[in-house]
Chain A
Amino acid sequence: MNVRNVKLILGREIRDQLRDRRTMFMIFVLPILLYPLLGLSFLQISQFMQEQPTRVLVVGARDLGELPALFENDRFAAGLFKEPERARLLEVKFESDEPRDEPPLADPQRREEASREKAERRVQTREFDAALCIPPDFSERLSLFRQAMKDRAANTELGDAPNPLIVYSTAHERSMIAFARLSEVLGAWKEQIVESHLQASRMPVAAARPFAAERIDVAGDSGLRGAATWAKILPMLLVLWAMTGAFYPAVDLCAGEKERGTLETLLSSPAQRSEIVLGKLATIMLFSMATAALNLIAMGVTGWAVVAQFPALGSPPPYAVVWLALAMLPVAALFSALSLALAAFARSSKEGQYYLMPLMLVTMPLVVMPMSPSMELNLGTSLIPVTGLVLLLRSVLEGGYWQGLQFLPPVAAVTLGCCWLAIRWAVEQFNAESVLFRESERLDVGLWLRHLHRDRQPTPTVAEAVFCGVVILAVRFFMGLAMKPPEDFDGFVMLTLASQLVVILTPALLMTAVLAGSAKQTLLLRRPRALAVPAAALLAVVLHPVAVQLASAVQRLYPITGMEAFAKHIEALTKDAPFWQILLLMALTPAICEELAFRGCILSGFRHLGHKWRAIIYSALFFGVTHAILQQSLIAALVGVVIGYIAVQTGSILPGMVFHAVHNGLMLSISRLTPATVERWPLLGTLMYRVDDGWSYHWGTVVLGGLAAALLWLWFGRLAYTKSPEEELQEAIERGSEEKDED
């Protein structure tokens, strides 16, 4: 890697982009123009959005006698509103002021009913937004009640006399607003009436209000007032702008260059593919960060005036700038690498633009999900790409620094891992002749499927290996939704067998049969060398203390929550079953099925990458993700790396199967170990000791086991393994570049 070339390419690409009017407009001019314009429009529109008055018809007595005033100057009394000027929001019309078409009915009850029905009709026809009907004897009845209180009469019950009635309609939004306003006014009026009753009966007014809760917002002192809202908005905007800012330059730098015919010029220059990718990536990152920063700044400046209208929102937390700037780097790196790989795949700028939508569709849920209050930063969410980062950012913006620090390692690992994968993908795209010199082909699914079978290689391709892994995960997901937790041991056996045979083994075998020319080569069905099988079994035994310590460390760091009941249920189902059945079901069956799928079909496909370690790690990641519980997945992925290494070095599936079976068998044994067994076998007592939830190994055992495992690992490393053609080519290229360096 020549850093000088990367800098040269970066410099050229930046100059190229700066000379492109469209890019300059999108990145620098648009935010500066757009946000003030949006702000202006918002303020303009907000004039129309001011609260509009609602019209209320009042039916019934206008004069309410001794009661506190409900009306003054033909409006509701200003004192009944929290803010007196809001009184103008309820326009009042008294039915009694209207001219009468017909003489009033004699019967007061019928008269009242007729008035109410008329009010209902008038609200229905939207002549009024709401109506307030006060019964004719309302004030008299309350006066009687007050008198009774004054006289300390025994019976101060109000009886079932009619209450005021609000007529409104939920079919009409203004009517609902009028209803809310009327309710507020009547509530305040009720309080005044209660107070006047208490005064009349010489009781302290405070009796009606035994307490009033006070509140204090501690966020105010720490400068974090309203941070929760900003903590949701800012990370989302950062991600979306970083993505948009990366995508357009990426399309121009890759697909555009293909289209203009300059890519081949560059490819035939001394710059290596990785230098070209890094140069372009750095350019895209720069533009992505510039876009995100400029948009956030332009929006911030414009938004200041607008936000000032809503004091409850508060200004963004003061350190937000620092956290956003820190987060900007990985976010921009991730989306730049993704955009670069997608853009490299596209034949033309037009095709490149089409890929923005799928990228957006995948990203949006990952960005929007963390906005939900129920979504919190924990081990599970921190391992979701983008979501983890957004949650971490949300957490530190809300001032949760300790929580942020605790989950920084998984978030950083996942984000960096994704960045690395995306960059690798982009480099692969630049190395793939089929991508660089792709021609348009008619979409013909039948033809493509025939081609997959007809032109198949002895082992699956990388894409087919990924597809196999994804199919296994998808089937597992849908089966998980469809299957119910087992009720007895037979049900548990069925569930385990189904998940191994249907979910894992069947897709792998089907894909091997259809897409691979040689099942023997794909599934590594070869006789291993004599010592490989016992060595693998021994490795599983000596590695067991390390695995147990690791599992308990993961468990301590990220406790499993919400699964206790399920784990207890499964334990209860299996505790009476014979141990050999458990071993057959949970050690031997997975060892066969999972090995054929992950170290057979998937690992063989990844070997076409040309790097055995990449193949081992990718297949181990799929192996890990297939495990249901996250904490298990972490350990499984590490175990997957060990088995993958054994499979590659021995060229046979069998030693890996034996390792897998012994590893699972030992894990099951330790969970069933009783103090009585340990007493019977004193050696066990010297190796391990009892802890709350089971058994743990002494540190000496762990260290000795680790050393023995290292020796066995070295032994496997010394085996001459069969390389894939791509691995041989890669080695030849590395030798070639070394020779050149020596020259």
Chain B
Amino acid sequence: MIHVHGLTKHYTDLRRGKIVALEGVDFHARSGQIYGLLGPNGAGKTTALRILSTVLRPTSGTAAINGFDVVTQPAAVRRQIGFMSANTAVYDRMTGWEMVEYFGRLYGIPDDELRERMEHLFQRLKMDDTRDVLGAKMSTGMKQKVSVARALVHDPPVLIFDEATSGLDVLVARALLNTVAELREHGKCVIYSTHIMREVEKLCDRIGIIHRGHLLAEGTLEELRDRYRERDFEELFFRLITAHDEAHPPQAAPATAGTQA
């Protein structure tokens, strides 16, 4: 479903010259699976997911979603995915209903089918309170629901969530995690990036630990625990990061990856 091979992204910084945001990242994810991309801030998660959503282009390497290449077939890729991140906000001057309808139309869904699907989505995500409220007047939780509905409106086979729970209170975050888990039940392939270990432990079928643009380890939670003989996942994560930093001492402060290209 998702095949990422040798994905590399460099950009130029005035002060430091060439900056490596991603270096030779490989991973695969299939339907009915939640793939967790875990890493500290600035690890390269957002860059990787922006490349998967075709917003950025890789310097080298390939990434294919449902057989479509992110570089040469970006429009086809975007039809296969629902992308939601901290950077995909809702429109201030549109109501929740209008916003989801707008994106549904951009996906070319016929009007009757769109209305039916939206009624179903609004019911499932309990979004009646956002229906006629303008984005500017919504609470963070309401906005997050609209974003989820927007990402799901065309019923894509692949969903990409980038730091989706950041800034949410516990209740809203939990509801979102439940929605993501439900998506797996519906056979979707979900890429879920976060820096919160609890979420990964609870939610993900496979985990990729990413740091300073490199994928340090990959596997199921059990595989990782066995491989590194460490039951405490937080400890495991910390050991991997520290070992990498010792082997490759950082030359400068880490870049805010994905926000520069």
Contacts and interface: CB of A to CB of B under 8 A. Distances in A.
Contact of B93 (A16, A261, A267): A16
A733 B260 contact: no
Interface in B168-191: none
A19 interface: yes
Interface in B27-85: 53-57, 68-69, 71-76, 78-79, 81, 83, 85
Contacts of A740: 68, 73, 75-76
Contacts of B15: 447
Contact of A262 (B57, B90, B108, B258): B90
B108 A436 contact: no
Contacts of B260: 437-439
Given A260-B89, A264-B85, A265-B88, A271 B106 contact: yes
Contacts of A261: 87-89
Of B91, B94, B259, which is in contact with the most chain A CB atoms at under 10 Å from its CB? B91
A20 interface: yes
A8 interface: yes
B14 interface: yes
Contact of A269 (B11, B103, B259): B103
Contacts of B78: 268-270
Nearest to A272: B75
Interface string A720-743: 000000000100110111011001
Interface string A1-44: 00011001100100110011000000000000000000000000
B17 interface: yes
Interface string A428-446: 0000011011110100100
Contacts of A447: 14-15
Contacts of A735: 72
Instruction: Indicate the member of B17, B68, B81, B92 with the most A CB atoms within 10 Å.
Output: B92
Given A12-B102, A434-B261, A455-B12, A19 B71 contact: no
A520 interface: no
B228 interface: no
A729 B62 CA distance: 13
Q: Range of interface residues on chain A?
A: 35 or more
Given A267-B55, A268-B83, A441 B14 contact: yes
A252 B87 CA distance: 18
A20 B90 CA distance: 16
Contacts of A271: 106
Interface in A687-743: 729, 732-733, 735-737, 739-740, 743
Interface string A258-293: 001110110111111000000000000000000000
Contact of B88 (A15, A264, A438, A733): A264
Contacts, number: 107
Nearest to B56: A433
B183 to A, nearest CB: 17
B82 to A, nearest CB: 9
Given A732-B72, A740-B68, A268 B79 contact: no
A270 B259 contact: no
Interface of B: 11-12, 14-15, 17-18, 53-57, 68-69, 71-76, 78-79, 81, 83, 85, 87-94, 102-103, 105-108, 134, 147, 150, 256, 258-261
28 contacts: A19-B134, A260-B91, A261-B88, A268-B53, A268-B54, A268-B55, A269-B78, A269-B103, A269-B107, A270-B106, A271-B106, A433-B11, A433-B57, A434-B11, A437-B56, A437-B259, A439-B256, A439-B260, A441-B14, A447-B15, A454-B17, A733-B73, A736-B71, A736-B73, A736-B74, A736-B76, A739-B73, A740-B73
Given A260-B89, A268-B53, 18 more contacts: A9-B106, A12-B94, A15-B93, A16-B91, A16-B94, A20-B93, A261-B89, A262-B88, A264-B85, A265-B150, A267-B55, A269-B106, A270-B106, A437-B259, A441-B14, A733-B71, A740-B75, A740-B76
The 8 tightest CB contacts between A and B, nearest first, are: A736-B72, A433-B261, A261-B89, A736-B73, A265-B88, A268-B83, A19-B93, A732-B72
Interface of A: 4-5, 8-9, 12, 15-16, 19-20, 260-262, 264-265, 267-272, 433-434, 436-439, 441, 444, 447-448, 451, 454-455, 729, 732-733, 735-737, 739-740, 743
